[in-house]
Amino acid sequence: MGMLDWFKSIMRGDDKQAASAAGVTDEAGAELAGLNFKTAVDAHMKWKVRLESYIGGTSTEQLKVEVVCRDDQCPLGKWIYDKGGEKFGFSETFFDMKAHHALFHRSAGNVLAAAQSGDKSSALKLLHSGDYVKASERVKMLLARMFVMAKDGTEAIDSHIRWKARLQAYIKGESNEDLKADIVSRDDQCTLGQWINGIGGERFGQIPAFSVVRSRHAQFHRCAGEVLTIAQQGEKERALHMIEEGAYPDASEQVAAAIVTLFETQKAAS
Structure pTM? 0.60
Which long-range contacts does 110-113 make (Cβ < 8 Å, 24+ apart)?
Answer: 110/69, 111/51, 111/55, 112/51, 112/54, 112/63, 112/65, 112/68, 112/69, 113/65
pLDDT tens digit sequence for 98-141: 999 999 999 999 999 999 999 999 999 999 998 999 999 999 99
pLDDT tens digit sequence for 49-76: 999 999 999 999 999 999 999 999 999 9
- Reduced to 3 states (helix: H, G, I; strand: E, B; else coil), residue 62 is coil
Q: Are 209 and 265 in contact (CB under 8 A)?
A: yes
Helix (H) or strand (E) holding 228: helix 208-232
Dihedral of the alpha carbons of 50, 51, 57, 61, in degrees to the nearest 10: 50
Q: What residue type is 190 in one-letter code?
A: C
Structural domains present in the chain = 3-150 (1.20.120.30), 154-269 (1.20.120.30)
- Digit-by-digit pLDDT tens for the chain (270 residues) are 567 778 878 877 766 655 555 455 556 678 878 889 988 998 998 999 999 999 999 999 999 999 999 999 999 999 999 989 887 776 778 899 999 999 999 999 999 999 999 999 999 999 999 899 999 999 999 998 888 777 767 767 778 889 999 999 999 999 999 999 999 999 999 988 988 988 788 778 889 999 999 999 999 999 999 999 999 999 999 999 999 999 999 999 999 899 888 877 766 665
Residues 6+ apart with CB under 8 A from 32: 147, 150, 151, 199
The pLDDT score that the predictor gives to residue 9 is 83
